[in-house]
């Protein structure tokens, strides 16, 4: 060890501390896994928990020690400044060891209570120290004693270890110090990112099980806590941006804007929780959502756009086509939020990316899983992108069919397998599940129509040059969709499946208006066995698709969705679209009156001209402003107060 210390010099304390912390993480993860032996085994997770856990641990250690490693590389020595660095390093090591040991020691008690590693709830409790300390003293005396003893032991070990590893160090010549610093920092950055991809390592990258606790075992509790703190900074509330509104008024107005009888509401604890009766009452059908990347109405001739989507146009002539459907946002995760949860948009990031909603959040997948449906996500890319995998596995999806599951795809672009490969995979999955007699729900997400617009050659006649343009990518996406629909019509699953093809958002969100309404208009068509042709000119939102699909599939349920079941009569005064762009929210009525909420500015109202895609200032009734205001506030209120959490049962029998 002395020879190693002499060779490594000021980096020696960093290396030894890293190994000690890695040992602590490993022993703790092993202990927790043995404790949860049955669940780890059921998830077939013994290898994955530890191999992926190692990535998380290395990243955690890299983040913890990158700054002291840099300082020691550059400034350590026998001079005064060097001795200050040594003492700072010792303090850092002591604190780091204490934090890591303490978090791992309190983890079992947290798992017993919440079935997860310490997360945002751990932080939220710190806001109420008096109440929490009273609770802990009243029911967790043994746990408190263990945590105290472990903390004292960690501090003692940290003091002795830090003294031992920093004693008798040798120091390199000054000319080598910048080189050492660059190498050490580069290694820490690489260890922290743990990938050469666009986004650094995050919990979604290591998630693999539909059991949230198993995914959490892959983490360590210090990492889990710090990631939760980071995510909490994204949980902006409408109250921070828009005029205040009494919660009772918000709830009353949101309920009134829903298209259900007041007798259907179940309880006041979750204000929008209601019994929903399906229009179709036959054998329950499969549900498939074909989510198209960036496929705005401006690319669909049937909707007044360019002639780039002939297969979508055919579906508009054959299925139930929506002529005035608007997206809720401008990002894929906002579209996913709308079509899988029916949750209204907020100034915060989509619930797909927020920490509090990674488990126990309502989704159509969770509802259908209870109905014994096989629930899956099919995607040609890496499902950890935008935290999709973590959110899906934590909220009802059990099957991730993403890029690693594709065998010999015909074409691979920047975003993974092309749309033809995607739909080929989807057809194989649906056929296999049908043969096994399993009802299924599947979200199929395309990606070829995404910059840099990679798609196979010689599949379409180019609309313009160069080949990799948004117009050509749209044509290819439509071509691949057409091939799938043709094949699906001949399949064994066609008559038993309700499909909807819908865009996640438009390809751009530009325009002079704060919320450019024309760029929120997207195509959506419901089709499949038993779906009759219908041209629907009502004003509707992405939020309305979830309840409509459940109704068409014959699923009676108790759920908190505020969207409309479009199989039923929808009064003109309840038709609306809501659109979020950054921190700005717009509400549009059936007759194109628009109310816009912007941070720090007065509420504005307009009249929208869908032909010219322009707006002019226009006064609207106070009742419209009040309803728009309530819906702008609802998502944040519901998220904060857990009005949209999952239930033990969604079953509802008439």
Name the band, by pLDDT with cuts 50, 70 and 90, for residue 492. Answer: very high
Per-residue pLDDT tens for 399-443?
999 999 999 999 999 889 999 999 999 999 999 999 999 999 999
Residue 173 has pLDDT above 70, yes or no: yes
Which one-letter DSSP state was computed for residue 345? P
Per-residue pLDDT tens for 95-114?
999 999 999 999 998 888 77
Name the band, by pLDDT with cuts 50, 70 and 90, for residue 144. Answer: confident
Q: How far is CA 438 from CA 127, 430, 485, 524, in A?
A: 47, 9, 21, 26
Which region among 125-134, 221-230, 351-360, 386-395 has the lowest average model confidence (pLDDT)? Answer: 125-134
Reported as type and span, the H/E element at residue 92 is helix 80-114
Residue 137 has pLDDT above 80, yes or no: no
Name the band, by pLDDT with cuts 50, 70 and 90, for residue 127. Answer: low
* Count of all residues that appear for the chain in the document: 654
Residue 504 has pLDDT above 60, yes or no: yes
State the number of CA atoms in the 13 A half-sphere of 160 facing the CB. Answer: 6
Whether the full predicted model's pTM is greater than 0.85, yes or no, is: no
pLDDT confidence of residue 4: 84
Query: What's the token pair of residue 303?
Result: 């909707």
Q: Taking Cα atoms as reference points, which of 530, 567, 533 lies closest to residue 547?
A: 567
Q: Taking Cα atoms as reference points, which of 402, 410, 449, 395 lies closest to residue 429?
A: 402
Name the band, by pLDDT with cuts 50, 70 and 90, for residue 60. Answer: very high
Cα–Cα dist 523/303, whole Å: 8
Between 319 and 268, residue with greater pLDDT? 319
Per-residue pLDDT tens for 573-615?
999 999 998 888 999 999 999 999 988 888 999 999 999 888 8
Whether 284 and 439 have beta carbons less than 8 Å apart is answered as yes
Which region among 335-344, 512-521, 606-615 has the lowest average model confidence (pLDDT)? Answer: 512-521
**In 3-state terms, what secondary structure has residue 558?**
strand
pLDDT confidence of residue 116: 86
Per-residue pLDDT tens for 524-567?
999 999 999 999 999 999 999 999 999 999 999 999 999 999 99
Over residues 224-245, the mean pLDDT reads 86
Domain limits of the chain?
2-232, 238-640
Per-residue pLDDT tens for 268-281?
789 999 999 999 99
Per-residue pLDDT tens for 223-232?
999 988 887 7
Residue 452 has pLDDT above 80, yes or no: yes
| CB crowding 61-95: b at 16 or more within 10 Å, else e | bbbbbbebbbbbbbbbbeeeebeebbeebbebbbe
Q: How far is CA 212 from CA 53, 138, 359, in A?
A: 15, 29, 7
pLDDT confidence of residue 130: 62
Cα–Cα dist 44/100, whole Å: 27
Q: How far is CA 598 from CA 153, 161, 511, 586, 601, in A?
A: 53, 55, 16, 9, 6
> In whole numbers, what is the pLDDT of the chain averaged over residues?
92
Which one-letter DSSP state was computed for residue 363? -
Q: How far is CA 172 from CA 87, 90, 167, 187, 357, in A?
A: 19, 20, 16, 19, 50
In the chain, the percentage of residues whose pLDDT exceeds 90 is 77
pLDDT confidence of residue 653: 63
Q: Taking Cα atoms as reference points, which of 453, 248, 288 lies closest to residue 373?
A: 288
Which region among 41-55, 195-209, 348-362, 477-491 has the lowest average model confidence (pLDDT)? Answer: 195-209
Name the band, by pLDDT with cuts 50, 70 and 90, for residue 77. Answer: confident
Over residues 233-261, the mean pLDDT reads 92
Topology (CATH) of 238-640: Alkaline Phosphatase, subunit A (3.40.720)
Residue 512 has pLDDT above 60, yes or no: no
Name the band, by pLDDT with cuts 50, 70 and 90, for residue 7. Answer: confident
pLDDT confidence of residue 197: 77
């Amino acid at each position: 060890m002395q020879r190693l210390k002499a060779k490594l010099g000021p980096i020696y304390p960093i290396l030894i501390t890293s190994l000690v912390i890695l040992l602590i993480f490993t022993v703790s993860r092993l202990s927790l896994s043995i404790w949860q032996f049955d669940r780890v085994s059921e998830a077939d997770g013994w290898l994955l928990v530890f191999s992926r856990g190692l990535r998380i641990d290395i990243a955690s250690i890299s983040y913890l020690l990158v700054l002291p490693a840099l300082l020691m590389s550059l400034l350590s020595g026998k001079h005064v400044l060097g001795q200050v660095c040594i003492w700072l390093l010792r303090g850092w090591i002591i604190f780091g060891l204490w934090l890591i040991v303490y978090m791992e020691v309190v983890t079992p008690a947290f798992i017993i209570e919440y079935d997860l590693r310490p997360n945002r709830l751990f932080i939220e409790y710190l806001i109420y120290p008096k109440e929490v300390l009273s609770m802990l003293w009243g029911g967790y005396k043994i746990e408190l004693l263990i945590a105290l003893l472990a903390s004292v032991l960690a501090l003692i070990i940290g003091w002795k270890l830090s003294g031992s590893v920093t004693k008798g160090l040798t120091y390199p010549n000054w000319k080598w110090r910048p080189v050492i610093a660059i190498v050490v920092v580069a290694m820490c950055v690489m260890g922290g990112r743990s990938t050469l991809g666009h986004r650094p390592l995050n919990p979604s990258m290591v998630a693999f099980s539909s059991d949230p606790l198993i995914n959490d075992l892959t983490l360590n509790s210090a990492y889990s806590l710090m990631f939760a703190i980071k995510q909490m900074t994204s949980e902006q509330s409408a109250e921070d941006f828009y005029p205040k509104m009494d919660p009772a008024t918000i709830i009353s107005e949101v309920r009134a804007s829903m298209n259900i009888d007041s007798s259907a509401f179940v309880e006041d604890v979750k204000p929008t929780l209601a019994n929903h009766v399906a229009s179709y009452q036959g054998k329950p059908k499969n549900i498939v959502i074909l989510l198209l990347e960036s496929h705005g109405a401006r690319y669909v001739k049937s909707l007044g756009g360019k002639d780039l989507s002939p297969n979508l146009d055919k579906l508009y002539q054959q299925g139930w086509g929506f002529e005035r459907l608007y997206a809720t946002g401008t990002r894929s995760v906002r579209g996913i939020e709308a079509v899988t949860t029916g949750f209204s948009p907020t100034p915060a990031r989509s619930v797909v990316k927020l920490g509090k909603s990674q488990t126990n959040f309502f989704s159509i997948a969770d509802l259908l899983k209870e109905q014994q449906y096989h629930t899956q996500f099919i995607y040609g890319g890496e499902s950890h992108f935008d935290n999709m995998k973590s959110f899906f596995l934590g909220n009802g999806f059990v099957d991730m069919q993403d890029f690693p599951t594709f065998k010999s795809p015909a074409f691979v672009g920047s975003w993974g397998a092309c749309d033809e490969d995607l739909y080929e995979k989807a057809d194989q999955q649906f056929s296999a599940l049908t043969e096994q007699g399993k009802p299924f729900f599947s979200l199929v997400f395309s990606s070829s129509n995404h910059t840099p617009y990679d798609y196979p050659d010689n599949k379409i006649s180019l609309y313009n040059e160069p080949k990799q343009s948004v117009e050509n990518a749209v044509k290819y996406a439509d071509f691949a969709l057409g091939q799938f629909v043709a094949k699906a019509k001949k399949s064994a699953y066609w008559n038993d499946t309700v499909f909807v093809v819908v865009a996640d958002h438009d390809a751009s969100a530009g325009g002079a208006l704060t919320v450019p309404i024309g760029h929120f208009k997207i195509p959506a068509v419901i089709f499949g066995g038993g779906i009759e042709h219908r041209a629907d000119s009502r004003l509707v939102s992405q939020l309305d698709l979830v309840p409509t699909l459940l109704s068409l599939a014959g699923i009676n349920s108790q759920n908190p969705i505020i969207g409309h079941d479009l199989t039923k009569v929808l009064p003109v005064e309840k038709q609306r679209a809501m659109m979020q762009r950054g921190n700005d929210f717009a509400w549009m009525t059936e007759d194109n009156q628009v109310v816009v909420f912007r941070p720090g500015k007065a509420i504005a109202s307009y009249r929208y001209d869908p032909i010219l895609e322009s707006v002019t200032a226009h006064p609207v009734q106070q009742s419209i402003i009040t309803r728009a205001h309530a819906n702008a506030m609802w998502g944040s209120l519901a998220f904060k107060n857990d009005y949209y959490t999952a239930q033990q049962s969604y079953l509802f029998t008439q």
